[in-house]
Amino acid sequence: MSEKKKFNLEYELRSSPRILFSFISEPNGLSQWFADDVVFRDQTYTFTWDGEVQKAKLLSVKENKLVKFKWVDDDPHCYFEMEIVQDELTNDVALAITDFATDETLAEKKQIWDNQITYLVSVIGG
């Protein structure tokens, strides 16, 4: 099995960092676009998709800036991060995604993020 490698994606969003942050950090916000159901307890997020459950630890959080998660059952070096990037000149806001995938799963992973972010945009109304 090939090793997972880091990849980055960036999506422009019409939202304030403060509003966007609630969608990437709070269970209520995450459950509107990222997963069907999200529960946060003891620094662990439990995500549910179509009855399938995955747990992730919250590794770090910076107010209105970023959240970094680690899937409990994933490789030690792997994590996924959502960072809010704001252009100083234009004030344009983007969401930068860092995630890990094998060469075999990269296209699929990117497609999943594309789909999730499309949901996020529709929820935010961007």
Residue 67: helix, strand or coil by DSSP? strand
Cβ atoms within 10 Å of 21's Cβ, excluding its own: 21
Choose among 101, 102, 95, 100: nearest CA to 116.
95
Predicted local distance difference test score (pLDDT) of residue 125: 80
Assess contact for 116 and 13: CB atoms under 8 A.
no
* CA-based end-to-end distance of the chain: 39
Token pair 């100083």 is at which residue? Answer: 88
pLDDT along the chain (126 residues), means of 10: 92 95 96 96 93 95 97 94 96 97 97 96 85
Q: 51: domain CATH number? A: 3.30.530.20
Report the predicted TM-score, pTM, of the whole model to 2 decimal places. Answer: 0.93
Number of domains in the chain: 1
Range of the domain at 71: 5-124
What is the distance between the alpha carbons of residues 62 and 55, in angstroms, rounded to a whole number?
21
Quote the DSSP letter at residue 43.
T
